[in-house]
């Protein structure tokens, strides 16, 4: 599994163009989640723990030293199969490294449920396989990519 984490002042997602279905957060993380072949619950558990404990927020001295939990931050979780795209050949990305949709959805949902058990203030989510408009007010900007261990 792969996470692309952005520290945000706020973020939102609109599902299938429906403004009534807008999900949003304030200060925290917008996290894009990609699933590849061979991923499993153990990798999802490791990433959920790593993400919530990652110290990417400023302390009182302005040093990057605090975690999402430390700042009582919020998180927006969005599935993104293109995190496993290959652009090595030609001009059209290949997606053969992304997990099959059924397996990816299962692990994305598992990851969301795992994060919900970790005591965060607010968790909002996109919708797997939907057309989503994601709006991010990046803070820093700070962006991190974390791969699960093999």
Query: pLDDT tens digit string along 80-132?
Result: 999 999 999 999 999 999 999 999 999 999 999 999 999 998 999 999 999 99
pLDDT digits (tens, 9 = 90+) for 32-75: 999 999 999 999 999 999 999 999 999 999 999 999 999 999 99
* Distance, CA of 119 to CA of 127 (rounded, Å): 22
Burial (CB count within 10 angstroms: exposed 0-12, middle 13-18, buried 19+), residue 62: exposed
Domain ranges of the chain: 2-147
Give CATH for domain 2-147. Answer: 3.50.80.10
| pTM for this model (two decimals) | 0.95
pLDDT digits (tens, 9 = 90+) for 72-81: 999 999 999 9
């Amino acid at each position: 599994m792969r996470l692309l984490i952005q520290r945000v002042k706020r973020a939102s997602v609109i599902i299938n163009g429906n403004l009534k279905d807008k999900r949003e957060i304030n200060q925290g993380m917008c996290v894009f989640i990609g699933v590849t072949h061979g991923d499993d619950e153990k990798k999802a558990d490791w990433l959920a723990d790593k993400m919530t404990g990652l110290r990417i927020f400023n302390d009182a001295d302005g040093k990057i030293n605090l975690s999402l939990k430390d700042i009582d931050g919020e998180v927006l979780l969005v599935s993104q199969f293109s995190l496993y795209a290959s652009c090595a050949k030609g001009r059209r990305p290949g997606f053969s490294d992304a997990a099959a949709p059924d397996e990816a959805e299962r692990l994305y949902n598992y990851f969301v449920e795992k994060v919900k058990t970790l005591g965060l203030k607010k968790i909002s989510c996109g919708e797997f396989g939907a057309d989503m408009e994601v709006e991010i007010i990046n803070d820093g900007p700070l962006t991190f990519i974390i791969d699960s261990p093999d």
